[in-house]
Amino acid sequence: MSIKIGILGYGNLGRGVESAIKQSDDMELVAVFTRRDPSTLTINTPTAKVLSADDLENMENDIDVLMICGGSATDLPEMTPKYAAKYNVIDSFDTHARIPEHFANVDKAAKAAKKIGIISCGWDPGMFSINRLYSMSILQDGKDYTFWGKGVSQGHSDAVRRIDGVKDCRQYTIPVEESVNLVRSGSNPELTTRQKHTRECFVVAEEGADKAKIEEAIKTMPNYFSDYDTTVHFISEEEMARDHSGLPHGGSVIYTGKTGEGNKNTHVIEYKLTLDSNPEFTGAVLVAYARAAYRMNQEGTSGAKTVFDIAPAYLSPLSGEEIRAHYL
């Protein structure tokens, strides 16, 4: 019997989730739910329906896990608790400061409905978080570093697009290799924002726009760019389409810790992701956690959970005997 999945929202992440379900023999995409007019949407799964988000009012018997792929950070604080009152849900909420509040809201709704809500799933928060936690739990005298990239930051690309005279932009976040190597050496450096990452922007300017002014506006933009060394390249629309249509990303969590008499021994733990498609990988993580949510809920577990609360075995479609035989 397949786990029946619904996807709410069909942007990059929703399509990434759909792609991962296709690779999962134990799952079936029942429907994509949209707040737009369903007739305007074409999806990649011929056997699944496109329905209105309003239809979620009474589909409790048709959906085992609902993937909340809301379009923006502002959607999820409202959506995830709302649907946790009816469905097992998964989201990728990543506004760090608001996680305690979001966790509490989802927990309340999910517990009342005897459902599970797994929040902040993906790779950061998500797989990177797990690696930080495992490492600090093993080596208590240590320090963690996170580097992102090389990859496209959609938030930064959007910020540049809002500048006058900019038609399109792709912004890459790039870790500073010397700093990564310094961390790997176990020397526990203190690194400034500027020392950890650089930023590279590929910009299509409107015809006749003042490129020097655009470059200045980018490089001095507070929060987004002013604390970084930023490079700006002006390119044509054709070059943008040809060379920058993908959404690669990745990064690494590096943890260094000491043990032994006089802390003489250094250990380095590095977890590194190199992803051709950020939304497809994130979608695949969400789908693995949907499997966990379903199975834990079947066992009677309810409430809000994060990746920290889920034993690895729940993510695998294989049995305990099989994973001990093949992966231990």
> Which tokens go with 50?
């496109």
Nearest to 306 by CA among 161, 104, 168, 165: 104
Q: Binding pattern to its own copies, positions 11-40, x when CB under 8 A?
A: -----x--xx--xx----------------
Structure token digits, residue 287: 């789908």
Candidates 47-55, 67-75, 231-239, 264-272; binding stretch for its own copies (CB under 8 A): 264-272
Give the other-Cβ count within 10 Å of 240's Cβ.
17
Binding mask 78-107 for its own copies (x = CB under 8 A): ------------------x--xx--x----
- Min separation Cβ 278 and its own copies, Å: 10
69 in contact with its own copies (CB under 8 A): no
Q: Tell me how far apart the terminal alpha carbons of the chain are, to the nearest angstrom.
A: 27
Nearer to its own copies, 59 or 174 (CB): 174
Determine if 209 is a binding residue for its own copies (CB under 8 A).
no
Considering only 63-71, 195-203, 209-217, 305-313, which stretch makes contact with its own copies by CB under 8 A?
A: 305-313
Q: In this chain, which of 53, 229, 270, 295 binds its own copies, going by CB under 8 A?
A: 270
**Consecutive H or E run containing 178:** helix 177-184
Q: Which DSSP string do the residues of 8-76 spell out, in sequence order?
A: E--SHHHHHHHHHHHT-TTEEEEEEEESS-GGG---S-TTSEEEEGGGGGG-TTT-SEEEE--SSTTTH
Give DSSP secondary structure letters for 285-304: HHHHHHHHHHHHHHTT--EE
Among 117, 291, 297, 303, binds its own copies (CB under 8 A): 291
Closer residue to its own copies (CB): 66 or 183 = 183
User: Residue 173's closest CA among 146, 205, 147, 145?
Assistant: 147
Q: Does residue 280 touch its own copies according to CB under 8 A?
A: yes
CB of 238: closest distance to its own copies in angstroms?
21
78: its two tokens: 């409202």
Question: Among 84, 285, 290, 293, which residue interacts with its own copies (rule: CB under 8 A)?
Answer: 285
- Does 317 contact its own copies by CB under 8 A? yes
Q: Is 161 near its own copies (CB under 8 A)?
A: no
Helices (H) and strands (E) in the chain, counts: 11, 14
Binding interface with its own copies (CB under 8 A): 16, 19-20, 23-24, 44, 96, 99-100, 103, 120, 125, 127, 129-134, 136-141, 184, 259-261, 264-277, 280-281, 283-285, 288, 291, 306-313, 315-317, 320-321, 323-325, 327-328
